[in-house]
Structure 1
Amino acid sequence: MPTTMADRTLVALACLAGGLGVAASAAAAHIPGADSLKTAAQFLLFHAPAILALAGLAAVGATHAVATRIAAFALVLGLALFSGDLAIRALAQRPLFPMAAPSGGILLMLGWASAAVAAFLPVRR
């Protein structure tokens, strides 16, 4: 089954999340009291492999491809909002925008729920 541009984009974004997670972890180690940056790094590092897995599952047809990709993109957007807000707060002492972190957290939860639903949807062959 050929890989779609959506799958390749998800893989690239997951790799970006992993790299940013490593960078944020390193920065947090050198900034006293950067607990929110540590949290942002953890979320990036925990979700990067999940996004890779979802892209892989969609690409090989193991789950409903469209639903799985929607779940993965929800995780990406949720990470950008949640971790982005926490990182900006730690590094620039200002929010990304009001309610960015809670909105991102809700998107992350919806992404995980969507992934669970996608696992049970019939796969089209």
Structure 2
Amino acid sequence: LAAGSHADPRLGSAGLMLLFHAAVTIALVQSTFMSPTFKLNTLLLLVVGSGIFAADICSRVMRGAPLLPQLAPTGGVLTMLG
């Protein structure tokens, strides 16, 4: 988020994605209403999906090229599935 405020405003979307999903991850870890297997699968989808999305956005801004084609949409879909 600091890089989004100072270096390039486009990095703010990646930082916000990570910030919001970090809060959700903490809440899910503490929850007791899901089975452990379901909780683990949900956490993996959220963490991996938001990480892939943010990494691809940062790569597009800093290098001018994506890491892989269609990686940001894939990360978004994984996050939504989680």
Query: What TM-score do you get using the length of structure 2 for normalisation?
Result: 0.91
Note the residue ranges of structure 2 that are not aligned, 5 or more in a row: none
Q: 1:82-101 to 2 correspondence within 5 Å?
A: 82-101=53-72
In the superposition, the TM-score normalised over structure 1's length comes to 0.61
1:107 aligns with 2:81: no
**For residue 67 of structure 1, what is the aligned residue in structure 2?**
38
Identical-residue share of aligned pairs (%): 35
Shift of 1:88: 1.0
Q: Which runs of 4+ in 1 moved over 6 A?
A: none
Displacement of 1:110 in angstroms is: 0.3
What are structure 1's unaligned runs of at least 5 residues? 1-24, 112-125
**Alpha-carbon shift at residue 62 of structure 1 (Å):** 2.9
Question: Which protein has the larger Cα radius of gyration, Structure 1 or Structure 2?
Answer: 1
Q: Give the total of aligned pairs.
A: 82
> 1: distance between equivalents of 2:21 and 2:78?
13
Within 5 Å, which residues of 2 pair with 1:23-102? 25-32=1-8, 34-35=9-10, 37-57=11-31, 61-102=32-73
Q: Deviations over 1:17-60 (max 9, x none)?
A: xxxxxxxx11111224x32x110001000000101111122xxx
